[in-house]
Amino acid sequence: MNLTLHVWRQKSAGENGRFVSYDAQGIDAHMSFLEMLDVVNENLETGGEEPIAFDHDCREGICGSCSMVINGRPHGPWKETTVCQLHMRHYEDGDEIWIEPWRASGFPVIRDLVVDRSSLDRIVASGGFISARTGSAPDANAILISKANADRSMDAAECIGCGACVAACPNGSAMLYTAAKVSHLGILPQGQPERYTRVANMVQQMEKEGFGACRNYAECEAQCPKKISIQFISRMNCDYLRATLLRPIDFRGKTDSE
Ligand code: SF4
Ligand code: FES
């Protein structure tokens, strides 16, 4: 199939960017979106032009690198799908496709479609870990965890740190990402000792990085390729309230439902 691409080109963070149009010809319907861009880049390089810079790594939907907005939607038109898992069979011959980087003040553009997402790493570095020495792997049943809590923690841990939630939010909020990282530890017994310092530090770092506040648009959940629920944001807000306005000591050892 033949397509027309309108791609955001920007040489560096300090320079203005603009859309540049390219013909993508002879694209196989079985290619992934990134393979289609590889073909376009090969043609650009053959013609002596700069290839389009874009992030990618695993190409299996697990690393969260392939961040781009396609026709106005982070990760493109298909629900629960990263760009690397989006295939060209979903497009038709003659389609026009607009491709942009994530747009958020917390994600400055580095070049073309590549943005600096180190702000997300700094949120995790501020508290998304446990500092207890864990030694070697414990026996599987040494720490009892209810099935419900294990499942909820795993649901939160599915977050791949792609940043689509931020790009989708009209406020550029990183609440869904932060809530997922706060919750996957905060729900488990191992995460309890630092539960309240963790949430306070991570939320404060999120604000320092320039991300906006949550206004319940729920666009983050709609565009998240891992279907992270906005219920985790409620949970994080509850823990943050306990950590900052109430006495966290009163809640130590209690489960989410108490
Ligand atoms: S919450 Fe979803 S959209 Fe946001 S970073 Fe995690 S996986 Fe990506
Ligand atoms: S390249 Fe790893 S999730 Fe897309």
Each residue of 12-50: pLDDT tens digit? 989 999 999 999 999 999 999 999 999 999 999 999 999
Whether the CB-CB separation of 122 and 136 falls below 8 Å is answered with no
pLDDT at 6: 98
* pTM exceeds cut of 0.85: yes
pLDDT at 196: 93
DSSP state of 197: H
Examine the pLDDT at 143 and tell me if it is beyond 90: no
pLDDT at 137: 78
Whether the CB-CB separation of 8 and 17 falls below 8 Å is answered with yes
Percent of the chain's residues with pLDDT above 90: 85
Which atom belonging to ligand 1 lies closest to the Cα atom of 120? 5
CA distances in angstroms from 98 to 9, 64, 93, listed in the order given: 12, 20, 15
- The mean pLDDT value of the chain amounts to 93
Expressed in angstroms and rounded, the spacing between residue 21 Cα and the centre of ligand 1 is: 29
Percent of the chain's residues with pLDDT above 70: 95
Q: Residues with beta carbon inside 6 Å of ligand 2? A: 56-59, 61-66, 82-84
- CA 200 from chain centre, in angstroms, equals 21
Look at 42-56, 72-86, 108-122, 241-255 and tell me which has the smallest mean pLDDT. 241-255
pLDDT tens per residue, range 158-173:
999 999 999 999 999 9
Which residue, judged by its Cα, is nearest atom 3 of ligand 2? 61
Ligand nearest the Cα atom of residue 164: 1
pLDDT at 248: 61
Examine the pLDDT at 258 and tell me if it is beyond 60: no
pLDDT tens per residue, range 199-222:
999 999 999 999 999 999 999 999
Expressed in angstroms and rounded, the spacing between residue 110 Cα and the centre of ligand 1 is: 20
**Residue in the block written with tokens 């609440």:** 175
pLDDT tens per residue, range 222-254:
999 999 999 999 999 999 999 988 766 666 656
Mean pLDDT value across residues 185-190: 92
Report helix angle 175-186 to 118-125, nearest 10. 30
pLDDT at 133: 76
Ligand nearest the Cα atom of residue 119: 1
Ligand nearest the Cα atom of residue 67: 2
